Amino acid sequence: MTVPALMAVLVLLVGAQVACVFKFPSWGNDEPAHLGYVAALARGDLPTIETDTVADPQQYGVIADDLVGWDEEHGDVWTANHAPLFHLTVLPLWWASDGEPQRVFIAMRLVNTLGFALWVLLVGLIARELVPRRPAVPALAAVLAATPTLSLRAGFLMNDGMSSAGALLAFWMTIRVLRDGVRVDRVTGGRLALAALGGVVAAGTRASGVLVVAACCLTLLVALWRRYGARQAILAAGVVGGVPALATGWFYLRNLHLYGDLTGQSALLDKFQRNPVTTLGGIWGIPSLDEALYSMPIAFAVLLVLVPVVAIRRVRRTGITWDAAWVMLLAHGAVTAVQIVGFLRSGGGYHDRYLMTVMPLLATAGALAMLRTGRHEWRVAAVWSGVLLAWLAGALVWLERLQIFGRQTSHPVEGPLPELLVGLAVATGLAAWATVVAHARSDGDRPQLRAEPALNSAQESFQSL
């Protein structure tokens, strides 16, 4: 797991550099609304999407004018349809600012940065569980997950990093229980507790976490019922699904009361008067879609072309083998895709961070497909990871020049620190690639197999994909 850990450090360094150089606030990344959410909590209020961001200018000190929107809608806390756990987490930083939140704003951004870094590491950990005897798969999956735009988003004040890290923790622990079974011991109890904790974090920050909790709960219920019977299945599913439901359900019932649906999505689309996409030509007018396409063509090509080709060939050769973990991730991915398409058709904007909870499935499938392009896994992984890391570096330079250095004459943090972070990020990326190359040189001529056998025939089938 060296490469996933290095990729997590890489994202941490890139996010920290962006946090230091991007001017405050970033309207395109919802920072005024998120800060307004924290300010409302500091006043003792739980905001709605109609709450003024600058309800009390004295709370913000000298930056109050920077947070006033250009119209009434953008002057509100439009992120208030999200549950408050992330904002409660950064609330102590607000209190520490003593009425001058710009003093701690970078620290608030870094909370999200840490979440993104943990998310990348968890992508690798889940890939290892899905394909346990081929270590090149989690290595390449972690590199594929660290896309340029997601690495850039790691540097802003938003709740996506924390929510996605919690979601993947829930997935990881659920898969561990599915793989190793249920026993009356501390190991199983600890995994269920961690899965429940991940569910609380995921659902307590974004509505997408509710879907993750439901997927983990239903999978445990069905899979364990068939294997152990009703009692063990209900107990495990009750912990993983019941704890997050008790901790966060009240908020989504509040959304239903205030906005007419659990997520508040329809109310936000009406608030900003978004026009539905009714024609194919209207797809190119979806906000932010072009940025993702320009910065991630390799990942899109792998997922849209290479993965289907490899999957069809495998099905023709061996048929379909069902595995509970893969079925859970596939079902969750399908429902997420339907929701995203529905949101875009209704006039919403595209952000690749909406795919963060689906990334274990996408990155693992992408890694498996890429490794089928050659005979020796680590050698193939070395080529692909080199291409992906080079593209990551070039795309980040382009994105930062376009969005930061081409627009700003000054930065929140001046001096050598941002340049030092860039240097460390480059060194970390080179270390990740060198690790893959070292594997390719030492044992690239034979498949990398773990000593222990796969636990069931379904899991075994993915070793040869």
DSSP character string of 187-244: HHHHHHHHHHHHHHHHHTT-THHHHHHHHHHHHHHHHHHHHH-HHHHHHHHHHHHHHH
pLDDT tens-digit map of 215-228: 999 999 999 999 88
pTM to 2 decimal places = 0.92
DSSP code string of 346-394: TTPPP-GGGGGGGHHHHHHHHHHHHHTTSSSHHHHHHHHHHHHHHHHHH
In the prediction, which pLDDT does 452 show? Answer: 33
Secondary structure of 115-144 in HEC code, one letter for each residue: HHHHHHHHHHHHHHHHCCCCCHHHHHHHHH
Are 287 and 277 in contact by the 8 Å Cβ rule? The answer is no
Task: Report the C-alpha gap between 12 and 7 in whole angstroms.
Answer: 8
pLDDT tens-digit map of 126-152: 999 999 989 999 999 999 999 999 999
pLDDT tens-digit map of 371-388: 998 888 999 999 999 999
Under 8 Å CB-to-CB from 397, ≥6 apart: which residues? none
In the prediction, which pLDDT does 164 show? Answer: 97
In the prediction, which pLDDT does 406 show? Answer: 83
Q: How many CB atoms lie within 10 A of CB 272?
A: 14
Average pLDDT per block of 10 residues along the chain, 465 residues long:
96 97 90 95 95 89 86 90 97 90 92 98 97 94 95 96 98 93 72 97 96 97 91 94 97 96 91 82 77 78 88 83 92 95 86 93 95 90 96 93 86 93 97 96 57 40 49
Share of the chain above pLDDT 90, in %: 64
CA dist 153 → 11, 156, 170, 292 (Å) = 10, 6, 22, 12
Burial class (CB in 10 A: 0-12, 13-18, 19+), 312: exposed
In the prediction, which pLDDT does 453 show? Answer: 31
